[in-house]
Amino acid sequence: MSSQNLIHRTWSRRGPLACLLWPVSALLGGIVHLRRLAYRREWLSSHRLPVPVLVIGNRIVGGAGKTPTTIAVLQHLRACGWQPGVLTRGYKGKRVDEAPLLLDEQTAPSLRAAVTGDEPMLIWRRTGIPLMIGPDRVADGVALLAAHPEIDILVCDDGLQHLRLQRDIEVVVFDERGAGNGWLMPAGPLREPWQAEPALPLSARPLVLYNADRQTTPLSGALTQRRLAAPVALSAWWQHQEAPRLSTPPAGNRVAAMAGIAQPERFFNALQELGFQVQPIPLADHAGFEVLPWDDTVQDLIVTEKDAVKLDPARVARERPGTRVWVAGLDFHPEPLFWRALDDALARLPARPASSH
């Protein structure tokens, strides 16, 4: 059994190993409680930015669907007349210092996903909305507003536990794992209790979104419809073109599929639902591509959008000329219940764009 499978199995039930680790989790739980209490009682200072802040995050370790949720929310905000900006840590980005890094129309041509991190680059390519990348959400927000004064709402990609930044709206994302065995790390998968009350005042109750086909915790929330789109050629994806697309191969033909995400099996299963027979190439989450991780014998390779931002078509053509690379994007649609709840929370904000209703 791989170490990753062992961790997932341990965190899914309260077995012997989880029970052995529980005292450490109890200690962590005490620290989390005291920290949240310190912000609630204002023993630790938090900071409010001059525009509303919407935080999207999860309480469980690993990818639960924050990035597709962020993209969907950004598109909704813009359609409603807001001019959003994004704050993000840029996890795994190889930056030379900790200074805020701006990703926008002016800087994007000179930046690569290896520097920004794959998720910020994917958000930029899907939305064209300016991002500020850095570990300090407060300083990054100030810097982004200075660079783009037209921004009237900030969306924080992750950062649910970054309590120095005051927020107006929280969106908490769960996937099919729910809260696992219900324990905090390392005995369980939780960063903080799944039922934790907001540590800071909000304009509305936190919104709960399930990146799943059912509710996986006792918390009331909305579901999402998610399905992979037919794969598009890598070069066309980089140029925001819709064609050509890869049709399902004849019976007996297999395609390679590569995924450097938290749960690669989810991607492989979705491709099988589209009719593909898959030869899987699972990678670590946020895997880098210093060396392309497939050999010359691969004729067709399907990748996630998160991996596509790290695959320059010119490099692929040069180093793997015999491979056709395809990108399968995710069609991600929260149900109307979520949008109604979000619109209600937005309506409670003190500042609203003039064009919204």
Per-residue pLDDT of 286-302, as tens digits, reads 888 999 999 989 999 99
> 101: which strand partners?
133
Question: Percent of the chain at pLDDT above 90?
Answer: 80
Is the pLDDT assigned to residue 251 strictly greater than 80?
no
Residue 357 confidence (pLDDT): 38
28 pLDDT higher than 70: yes
Examine the pLDDT at 250 and tell me if it is beyond 60.
Answer: no
pLDDT of 67 higher than 50: yes
Considering the four listed CATH numbers 1.10.150, 3.30.70, 3.40.50, 1.20.1270, the one that applies to the domain covering 50-225+333-347 is 3.40.50
What does CATH list as the number for 230-328? 3.40.50
Range 213-229 average pLDDT? 94
pTM over 0.85: yes
Lowest mean pLDDT across 9-13, 115-119, 336-340, 348-352: 348-352
User: Does 353 score more than 70 pLDDT?
Assistant: no
pLDDT at 11: 93
Q: How confident is the model at residue 162 (pLDDT cuts 50, 70, 90)?
A: very high
Mean pLDDT computed over every residue of the chain: 91
279 has a pLDDT exceeding 50: yes
φ, ψ for residue 253, nearest 5 deg: -90, 135
The structural domains of the chain, with segments of one domain joined by +, span: 50-225+333-347, 230-328
Equal fold, 50-225+333-347 vs 230-328: yes
% of the chain exceeding 70 in pLDDT: 93
Q: How, if at all, do strands 101-103 and 131-133 pair?
A: antiparallel
